[in-house]
Structure 1
Amino acid sequence: MSQPFRRGRWAFAVTAATALLLTIAPAASARETGAADGSARTGDVVAAAPATFTHPGVLVSRPQLDFIRSRVNANAQPWKAAYDQMMASRYASLTRTARPRAVVECGSYSNPNNGCTDEREDALAAYTLALAWYITQDSRYATKAIQIMDAWSATIQDHTNSNAPLQTAWAGSSWPRAAEIIRYTYSGWSAANITRFGTMLRNVYLPEIINGNTYSNGNWELSMMEASIGISVFLEDRSVYDRALAKFRARVPAFIYLTSDGAFPRGPAGSTIDTRAEVASYWQGQNTFVDGLSQETCRDFTHTGYGISAIAHVAETTRHQGQDIYPELQDRLRHALGFHAKYQLGEAIPSWLCGGSLTTGLGPVTEVGFNALNNRMGIAMTNTQRLTEQQRPAGTNNLFVAWETLTHAGNPN
């Protein structure tokens, strides 16, 4: 899945609720982040995390859930087809048995794979079942989602090996989506187990992801910040929210290029990647830069899609929390979606782009960004629209993206 890299480990007691405070610096009063182009500027002051968090509010909101349910109940398309696809998947099964383990070990490309697939898919199943509960109002789905979340929160203690941060990010993106829906729309999850689940997120997941990873490929850190922000909403932790959003805003312009950035892209914030030659090497050898090109375009579209998806997910969650960052991201996101969509659709590849050869396979990652930019903001996106509609209903990548035609196609909320 992703290449191994050097990383430090933190010593922390998984049973101590305050352990994370030792690894996370307090949010600065003048936060780093947030220029209008989606860059990070030291000293810029931006809106803080909400004083009151909105729930459910990780990727999907209650108004969005109500819209989905109304469309499915009306047998309207594409939502009914997307719902049927979801309900036919293994993730919606009421006979699923969770497979938690104390230590999930994931090496490069999930080799070894000791619990990696189990954890990711159980987290996706919990989210799928939570959606199924809300749409059907059948409590069996909520009960099954709770069983899965309780099994993991009672068991897991750590993630190890080289892919640990990415594995933690992927599962940590799905868990809060599920937990938010169940906690705030269903009365059958015990207070004690909700607390235990939150402790799991704080002590097992956050320490692995909140500090980011400067020299990894960009999809890593973007996914890590997506998970961190989702977890911060569930925990109602304003300091973690602000820290994650600052790191996210700093990473976005190091992942998607705009010509307004200058002659070549920025290196990741805090890195020593700052010359054109160093940036070109980090951008997979690409030396010609155009609007919407990604740091991983010349690697492959699949990993590029992970990063684009995480960007849209973060923007969607922060919008639900009253901090709409789509306007500052819109140019990068629309150009990235359009640039990759046209080649995914089969446009001839110019010789200057990745040596004239691309590995496509963008995945089901366009619905959230397309809905925000095109449907809600009125931005024309011809190639992205064509690809999005062609791929409907968008299913799951079995990692951290799932059912986004159902949740976001044409959703006005």
Structure 2
Amino acid sequence: MNRRTWRLPALTGLLALLTSGLTAVPTAQAALTAPTAFTHPGVLVSRAQLDLVRAKVQAGAQPWKAAYDQMHASKYASLSRTPKPRAVVECGSYSNPNYGCTDEREDALAAYTLALEWYVTRDSRYAAKAIQIMDAWSATITDHTNSNGPLQTAWSASSWPRAAEIIRYTYTGWPSDKVNRFGTMLRNVYLPKVVNGSNSNGNWELSMTEATIGIAVFLDDRTVYDKAVTKFRGRVPAYIYLASDGALPRTAPGSGLDTRAEIVNYWQGQSTFVDGLTQETCRDFTHTGYGLSAISHVAETSRIQGQDLYPEVADRLRHALGLQATYELGAAVPSWLCGGALHKGLGPVTEVGFNALHHRLGYGMDNTQRLTEQQRPAGANNLFTAWETLTHADNPN
């Protein structure tokens, strides 16, 4: 986009709307390598965060109590759940065919849900059920196949380490041989499918990066962790545009995109770029939400591990959340944006990023705040995002 475009009244008004209440906060570069020792539990949620959640729920404080009640009433918290592991999970485009795809994702989400239930209630039945699900899959699965196999792997492998971290480090009843088998499953079945990323739409590689960093923490693998962070640092600037990038969005390392026409095509035909536009905004908000959720999750895990990536992605993430929230809340869509039509449905994905950027780093984010509070309690998207009002609403830890 040339400089004259920025002086168009429509864009000027939009930028004023999107940046209303945004406070500039200095950023800092995070450490370049993994921590010497990993923090456990430390995938998306830390012990300090979990302790705050438990105290708030027990006190009946809101919004945590309502969020817990929502989780507790969900199918994922059921103590009668029977895991449905498969040796080979086959997932085609949009899960067609669907041979174990839904079962795997939902069992992984259930394991995480049950782990949260265990921590909040200290009822060992929930820990035992989480272990039963994780053991069933680690004893069975060998591969993911078909076109959506890598993405399916990423979604499931984003949830498994969260569950396993909580159970392994806060409950004493998971036998070490089963813990080791679970780790072997993550390393041999899941990691090879996600560690090298993807040149598909950005939500693919961001989800794969989230899965990779979670696996790295569970396995205490600094090499894999560093590889995930490198991938993250290359992909986030190629997923969310800032005016400082220049006339065109950045491209991810290895993408092969080197002409304006190729980049515009990759950005769903959008040729006017503004702060916070994502590579998938003009595709739909649902897939955009997957990407923004994964960015927040990776940054959150890195912060727990002492290598805080939030400051270096803060401007991109706050603008992306703000732009998407503006239209999700009902603002009129200008003709220059996605041809004047947006496919909304962002999903329950704003809580983690909003908490980090607004409550911890001090950014004003009026539209994101409105949307986040309007959607509380945030539930599960049945893929890899779940119960984030419970775990991250107003959580300073």
Q: TM-score band (shorter)?
A: over 0.9
Q: Which consecutive aligned stretches of 4+ in structure 1 deviate over 4 angstroms post-superposition?
A: none
User: Offset at 1:320?
Assistant: 0.4
Q: Following the alignment from structure 1 to structure 2, what is the Cα–Cα distance between the partners of residues 396 and 272? A: 35
Letter in 1 for 2:102: T
User: Identity rate of aligned residues, in percent?
Assistant: 76
User: Offset at 1:81?
Assistant: 0.3
Contact 2:195 2:208 in 1 (8 A): yes
Out of 141, 145, 152, the position equivalent to 2:130 is 145
Q: Equivalent residue for 2:237? A: 253
Letter in 1 for 2:121: T
1:324 aligns with 2:324: no
Out of 176, 195, 219, the position equivalent to 1:235 is 219
Q: Equivalent residue for 1:30? A: none
1:178 aligns with 2:178: no
1:189 aligns with 2:189: no
2:90 aligned counterpart, secondary structure: strand
User: Offset at 1:82?
Assistant: 0.3
User: Offset at 1:244?
Assistant: 1.0
Q: Following the alignment from structure 1 to structure 2, what is the Cα–Cα distance between the partners of residues 104 and 349? A: 40
* Equivalent runs, 1:192-231 vs 2, <5 Å: 192-214=177-199, 216-231=200-215
Q: Equivalent residue for 1:353? A: 337
Q: Following the alignment from structure 1 to structure 2, what is the Cα–Cα distance between the partners of residues 401 and 189? A: 25
Q: Following the alignment from structure 2 to structure 1, what is the Cα–Cα distance between the partners of residues 198 and 354? A: 28
Task: Compute the TM-score of the two structures, normalised by the length of structure 1.
Answer: 0.89
Contact 1:37 1:329 in 2 (8 A): no
- 203-212 or 46-55, which moves further after superposition? 46-55
Letter in 2 for 1:228: T
Q: Equivalent residue for 2:362? A: 378
Q: Following the alignment from structure 1 to structure 2, what is the Cα–Cα distance between the partners of residues 278 and 106? A: 28
* Equivalent runs, 1:10-409 vs 2, <5 Å: 46-214=31-199, 216-409=200-393
Letter in 2 for 1:246: T
User: How many pairs align?
Assistant: 371
Q: Following the alignment from structure 1 to structure 2, what is the Cα–Cα distance between the partners of residues 371 and 160? A: 36
Q: Following the alignment from structure 2 to structure 1, what is the Cα–Cα distance between the partners of residues 28 and 86? A: 42
Contact 1:206 1:228 in 2 (8 A): yes
1:296 aligned counterpart, secondary structure: coil
Q: Following the alignment from structure 1 to structure 2, what is the Cα–Cα distance between the partners of residues 143 and 75? A: 26
Letter in 2 for 1:51: T
2:272 aligned counterpart, secondary structure: coil
**Higher helix fraction (1 or 2):** 2
User: Offset at 1:46?
Assistant: 4.7
Contact 2:168 2:174 in 1 (8 A): yes
1:346 aligned counterpart, secondary structure: coil
2:318 aligned counterpart, secondary structure: helix
User: Offset at 1:275?
Assistant: 1.8
Letter in 1 for 2:106: E
Q: Following the alignment from structure 2 to structure 1, what is the Cα–Cα distance between the partners of residues 383 and 339? A: 30
Residue by residue over 1:122-160, the C-alpha shift from the partner in whole angstroms, topping out at 9 and shown as x without a partner, is 000000000000000000000000000000000000000
User: Offset at 1:268?
Assistant: 2.0
User: Offset at 1:37?
Assistant: 9.5
Residue 159 to residue 37, structure 1, CA distance change in 2 (3 Å):
farther
User: Offset at 1:385?
Assistant: 0.1
Contact 2:31 2:307 in 1 (8 A): no
User: Offset at 1:278?
Assistant: 1.1
User: Offset at 1:199?
Assistant: 0.0
Letter in 1 for 2:319: H
Q: Following the alignment from structure 1 to structure 2, what is the Cα–Cα distance between the partners of residues 46 and 130? A: 31
Q: Following the alignment from structure 2 to structure 1, what is the Cα–Cα distance between the partners of residues 221 and 142? A: 21
Which structure's relative contact order is higher, taking Cα pairs within 8 Å and 6+ residues apart?
Answer: 2
Residue by residue over 1:363-413, the C-alpha shift from the partner in whole angstroms, topping out at 9 and shown as x without a partner, is 000000000000111100000000000000000000000000000000010
Q: Following the alignment from structure 1 to structure 2, what is the Cα–Cα distance between the partners of residues 274 and 181? A: 44
Residue by residue over 1:310-343, the C-alpha shift from the partner in whole angstroms, topping out at 9 and shown as x without a partner, is 0000000000000011110100000000000000
User: Offset at 1:274?
Assistant: 2.0
Letter in 1 for 2:238: A
Residue by residue over 1:2-55, the C-alpha shift from the partner in whole angstroms, topping out at 9 and shown as x without a partner, is xxxxxxxxxxxxxxxxxxxxxxxxxxxxxxxxxx799xxxxxx95211110000
Q: Following the alignment from structure 2 to structure 1, what is the Cα–Cα distance between the partners of residues 72 and 258? A: 48
Q: Following the alignment from structure 1 to structure 2, what is the Cα–Cα distance between the partners of residues 229 and 246? A: 11
Q: Following the alignment from structure 2 to structure 1, what is the Cα–Cα distance between the partners of residues 240 and 87? A: 37
Task: Compute the TM-score of the two structures, normalised by the length of structure 2.
Answer: 0.92
